[in-house]
């Protein structure tokens, strides 16, 4: 058996010799590269925490001692050491989650894939232990330097420092990167800690110089005291943490298991909040990742393990279109600036940064600050474009509502990965945005259906200066172009089908990327002798008056969207029709109001009856009910 196969629980680590631990670390790296290259997943972060995680599980006794990982994408090694070594279906339905999961193991505390939250979780658990008198238990939070750029982490640190008797250890996994190099004052501070090796050397030189100068004793004493303070501030700026009341240990080589264990034992014995500063290398041990400056190995799809190259090259996608178009717009308008939260390349702003470096602002993992800062820029005459994953807009909702919308700030939000993303699980599906944003007064939201409409709607969005605009699109490759065949006011008509000599009875509304599904459903209805009109509203919030008017001329309205069915665009249209006094039945095909387990997007689409054939089947049943004309049928349709 290999060393890894012998590890079924963390206690098994404690019987291994130093040489065996080194062999285990190498086996784990080989395992991760082999398995993750087949399924996709977060590779770089996990290669960087192999020795650190081994040391954690040798010093602390999980699950008695609680380990909380922030962000959870660095927890694959933790899974391997806690008995979860079947990675064959990682991030696939029925397989392991890409993040910690309570349903998988008692060793997991929180799914935690939205960064900067682990310290608050750890603080809460430590407070509960203290109140329960559990003095023999520790809580350990593992947080990256990137996640420490988030304001919530500093709110937690401020509170953790108050609990001087709480057994809480904070391990800062410092690799200088989050999705990209960590930015800001904290990054400079940690960099100083990494390179502060000369404190005693410089101090000794100063002492010898003062003695040789023949200065009077008191003068020499004062000078030496000042030198000590100055050298400490410059070469040992751990005072930032210690001034908060937190004991600091480090920097420690996070790839040296004995050194990490020694530091963690010291922290464990301290009896109060301690920060252990571990220096690690993201992607360690895998040459393609170590030599990659663009951080392509933070998360990968299916790759060739030998080269790190994709097995199937990606098709030109939504993000690439945005990346091109925003640069073209910025060339024409000097007031356009770009804002992102630690994800410059993933959201498509790398080309913008190359050409307009002074006009792009990466604020770290700090969505709240990004949005309110954008409101300030708009006030001062700029037009900020805030590019985020749709799931991360949730973290800045209050700022969008109270700082941007309330003040009618001209800020454009570009939401990548909107709708169903699937593989990353409940926290990463961008399914909440339209339901949340529907509640924001004055906000206008566009949902492009293809490349041409994305380019056009982005330009329309940045032309608005009296309130927030949003452009949202899904993950992945672009669909085939879907040109309009006509117009109904502001609406794009995508198809018209007459059947059985009747006028179109069904209005199909395709929201954004679901427009193609609406067209497919209309074709299926026509085959059953049911006429229909298919429209793409383009701008779906607020509900266009032209859409309400057109809907009133049909017997049934069917809305297909990749957001919440209970509070999204279909629901908004139903409310608008009722307010206008139109008794038209509205069917909504969308995502259920629930947290979704990880699965492929195709599996989720089938589960939620979002295929064209599903939409057509339900619409046909409703039309049959209308033709039957029974009161029960009419009541079911809202007639």
Residues 463, 512, single domain; the answer is: no
Q: For residue 632, tell me if it sits in a domain.
A: yes
Residues 225, 323, single domain; the answer is: no
Per the DSSP assignment, residues forming a β-bridge with 245 are none
Q: Is 147 annotated as a binding residue?
A: yes
CB 194 within 8 A of CB 174: yes
CB 429 within 8 A of CB 391: yes
Cα gap 466→468, rounded to integer Å: 7
Q: What is the pLDDT of residues 54-98, one digit of tens each?
A: 999 999 999 999 999 988 788 899 999 999 988 888 888 988 888
pLDDT for the residue numbered 328:
98
Cα gap 582→385, rounded to integer Å: 38
pLDDT for the residue numbered 395:
93
Residues 612, 495, single domain; the answer is: yes
Q: CA 513, 517, 522, 523 torsion: positive or negative?
A: positive
Residues 458, 507, single domain; the answer is: no
pLDDT for the residue numbered 9:
93
Per the DSSP assignment, residues forming a β-bridge with 442 are none
Which CA distances in Å does 518 have to 146, 222, 485, 496? 42, 80, 14, 12
Q: For residue 613, tell me if it sits in a domain.
A: yes
Which among 405, 437, 472 is the end of a domain?
472
Burial 408-445 (b: 16+ CB within 10 A, else e): ebbbbbbbbbbbbbbbbbbbbbbbbbbbbbbebeebbb
- For the chain, the residue count is 639
Whole-number CA gyration radius for the chain: 28
Query: How many domains are contained in the chain?
Result: 4
Residues 10, 137, single domain; the answer is: yes
Report the relative pairing of strands 336-340 and 247-253 from DSSP bridges: unpaired
Position 232 pLDDT exceeds 50:
no
Position 502 pLDDT exceeds 50:
yes
Cα gap 55→73, rounded to integer Å: 18
CB 67 within 8 A of CB 56: yes
**Mean pLDDT throughout 498-505?**
70
pLDDT for the residue numbered 377:
97
Q: Is 146 annotated as a binding residue?
A: yes
Residues 464, 506, single domain; the answer is: no
Q: Which residues are within 8 A (CB) of 187 and not within 5 positions of it... i.e. 6 or more apart?
A: 145, 149, 176, 181
Q: Given pLDDT bands bounded at 50, 70 and 90, which one contains residue 503?
A: low
Q: For residue 325, tell me if it sits in a domain.
A: yes
Q: For residue 296, tell me if it sits in a domain.
A: no
Residues 252, 334, single domain; the answer is: no
pLDDT for the residue numbered 174:
86
Give all strands (DSSP E) within 368-441, no chain letters. Answer: 383-389, 412-416
3 state SS of 616: helix
Q: Which residues are within 8 A (CB) of 292 and not within 5 positions of it... i.e. 6 or more apart?
A: 283, 308
Cα gap 396→238, rounded to integer Å: 31
Cα gap 33→48, rounded to integer Å: 12
Which among 416, 439, 472 is the end of a domain?
472
Give all strands (DSSP E) within 146-294, no chain letters. Answer: 168-174, 247-253, 274-279
* Residue position matching structure tokens 């995502």: 591
Q: Is 141 annotated as a binding residue?
A: no
CB 451 within 8 A of CB 424: no
pLDDT for the residue numbered 283:
78
Q: Is 221 annotated as a binding residue?
A: no
CA 565 to chain CA mean position, Å: 22
DSSP secondary structure code for residue 348 in this structure: T
CB 466 within 8 A of CB 410: yes
Q: What are phi and psi of 609, to 5 degrees?
A: 55, 50
pTM of the predicted protein model: 0.83
pLDDT for the residue numbered 180:
54
Cα gap 415→433, rounded to integer Å: 9
Q: Which residues are within 8 A (CB) of 201 and not within 5 positions of it... i.e. 6 or more apart?
A: none
CATH of the domain at 618: 3.40.50.920
CATH of the domain at 387: 3.40.50.970
Q: For residue 312, tell me if it sits in a domain.
A: no
Q: Is 145 annotated as a binding residue?
A: yes
Cα gap 199→228, rounded to integer Å: 9
pLDDT for the residue numbered 125:
94
Cα gap 123→169, rounded to integer Å: 10
Per the DSSP assignment, residues forming a β-bridge with 513 are none
Q: Give the residue among 526, 624, 534, 626 at the shortest CA–CA distance from 585.
A: 626
Residues 95, 210, single domain; the answer is: no
Which CA distances in Å does 557 have to 445, 573, 628? 21, 9, 18
Active-site annotation, residues: 282, 367, 395
How many helices and strands in the chain, by DSSP H and E? 25, 18
Q: Is 175 annotated as a binding residue?
A: yes
CB 330 within 8 A of CB 336: yes
Residues 370, 467, single domain; the answer is: yes
pLDDT for the residue numbered 293:
53
List the end-to-end C-alpha distance of the chain, in Å, as a whole number: 69
Residues 169, 222, single domain; the answer is: no
pLDDT for the residue numbered 70:
87
Position 434 pLDDT exceeds 90:
yes
Q: Give the residue among 487, 511, 620, 602 at the shortest CA–CA distance from 556.
A: 620
Residues 54, 158, single domain; the answer is: yes
pLDDT for the residue numbered 488:
96
Q: What is the pLDDT of residues 540-561, one digit of tens each?
A: 999 999 999 999 999 999 999 9
Q: Give the residue among 356, 355, 411, 414 at the shortest CA–CA distance from 382.
A: 411
Report the mean per-residue pLDDT for the chain: 86
Q: Is 387 annotated as a binding residue?
A: no
Cα gap 40→346, rounded to integer Å: 16
Bigger pLDDT: 151 or 53?
A: 53
Q: For residue 307, tell me if it sits in a domain.
A: no
Q: Which two tokens stand for residue 468?
A: 């927030």
Which CA distances in Å does 219 have to 213, 224, 228, 561, 607? 11, 9, 14, 76, 80
Residues 68, 121, single domain; the answer is: yes
Question: Percent of the chain beyond pLDDT 70?
Answer: 84
Q: What is the pLDDT of residues 457-483, one digit of tens each?
A: 999 999 999 999 999 999 989 999 999
Cα gap 142→189, rounded to integer Å: 19
pLDDT for the residue numbered 305:
73
Q: For residue 299, tell me if it sits in a domain.
A: no
Domain holding 230, by residue range, is 197-236
CB 57 within 8 A of CB 101: no
Q: For residue 337, tell me if it sits in a domain.
A: yes
Q: Given pLDDT bands bounded at 50, 70 and 90, which one contains residue 613?
A: very high
* Residue position matching structure tokens 């941007």: 404
């Amino acid at each position: 058996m290999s060393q890894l196969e012998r590890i079924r629980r963390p206690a098994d680590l404690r019987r291994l010799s130093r040489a065996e631990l080194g062999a285990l670390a190498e086996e784990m790296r080989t395992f991760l590269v082999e398995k993750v290259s087949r399924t996709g997943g977060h590779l770089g972060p996990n290669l960087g925490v192999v020795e650190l995680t081994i040391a954690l599980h040798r010093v602390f006794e999980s699950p008695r001692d609680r380990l909380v990982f922030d962000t959870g994408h660095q927890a694959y090694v933790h899974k391997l050491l806690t008995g979860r070594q079947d990675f064959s279906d990682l991030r696939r339905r029925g397989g392991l989650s890409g993040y910690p999961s309570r349903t998988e193991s008692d060793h997991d505390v929180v799914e935690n894939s939205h960064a900067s939250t682990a310290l608050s979780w750890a603080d809460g658990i430590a407070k509960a232990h203290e109140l329960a008198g559990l003095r023999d238990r520790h809580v350990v939070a593992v947080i990256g330097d990137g996640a420490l750029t988030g304001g919530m982490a500093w709110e937690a640190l401020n509170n953790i420092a108050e609990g001087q008797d709480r057994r809480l250890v904070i391990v800062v996994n410092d690799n200088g990167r989050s999705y990209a190099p960590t930015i800001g004052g904290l990054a400079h501070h940690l960099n100083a800690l990494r390179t502060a090796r000369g404190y005693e050397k410089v101090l000794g030189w100063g002492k010898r110089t003062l003695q040789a100068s023949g200065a009077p004793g008191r003068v020499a004493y004062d000078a030496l005291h000042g030198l000590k303070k100055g050298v400490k501030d410059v070469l040992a700026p751990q005072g930032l943490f210690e001034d908060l009341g937190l004991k600091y240990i480090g920097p420690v080589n996070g790839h040296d298991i004995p050194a990490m264990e020694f530091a963690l034992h010291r922290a464990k014995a301290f009896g109060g909040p301690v920060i252990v500063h571990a220096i690690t290398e993201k992607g360690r041990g895998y040459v393609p990742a170590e030599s990659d400056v663009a951080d392509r190995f933070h998360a990968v799809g299916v790759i060739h393990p030998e080269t790190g190259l994709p097995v199937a090259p990606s098709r030109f996608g939504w993000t690439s279109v945005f990346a091109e178009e925003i640069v073209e717009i910025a060339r024409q308008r000097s007031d356009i600036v770009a804002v992102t939260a630690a994800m410059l390349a993933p959201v498509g702003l790398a080309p913008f940064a190359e050409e307009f470096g002074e006009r792009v602002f990466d604020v770290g993992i700090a969505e709240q600050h990004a949005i309110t800062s954008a409101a300030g820029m708009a006030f001062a005459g700029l037009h900020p474009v805030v590019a985020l994953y749709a799931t991360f807009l949730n973290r800045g909702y209050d700022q969008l509502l109270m700082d941007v919308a309330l003040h009618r700030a001209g800020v454009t939000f570009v939401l990548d990965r909107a709708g169903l993303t699937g593989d990353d699980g409940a926290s990463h599906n961008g399914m909440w945005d339209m339901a949340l944003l529907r509640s924001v007064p004055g906000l206008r939201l566009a949902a492009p259906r293809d490349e041409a409409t994305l380019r056009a709607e982005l330009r329309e969005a940045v032309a608005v200066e009296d309130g927030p605009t949003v452009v949202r699109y899904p993950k992945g490759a672009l669909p085939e172009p879907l040109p309009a065949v006509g117009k109904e006011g502001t609406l794009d008509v995508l198809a018209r089908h007459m059947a059985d000599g009747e006028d179109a009875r069904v209005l199909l509304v395709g929201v954004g990327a679901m427009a193609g599904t609406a067209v497919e459903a209309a074709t299926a209805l026509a085959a059953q002798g049911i006429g229909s009109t298919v429209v793409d509203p383009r701008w779906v919030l607020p509900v266009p008056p032209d859409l309400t008017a057109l809907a009133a001329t049909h017997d049934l309205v069917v809305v297909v969207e990749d957001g919440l069915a209970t509070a999204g665009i279909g629901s908004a249209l139903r409310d608008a029709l009722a307010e206008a006094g139109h008794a038209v039945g509205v069917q909504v095909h969308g995502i259920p109001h629930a947290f979704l387990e990880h699965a492929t997007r195709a599996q989720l689409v089938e589960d939620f009856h979002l295929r064209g054939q599903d939409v057509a089947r339900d619409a046909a049943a409703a039309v049959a009910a209308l033709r039957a004309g029974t009161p029960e049928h009419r009541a079911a349709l809202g007639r």
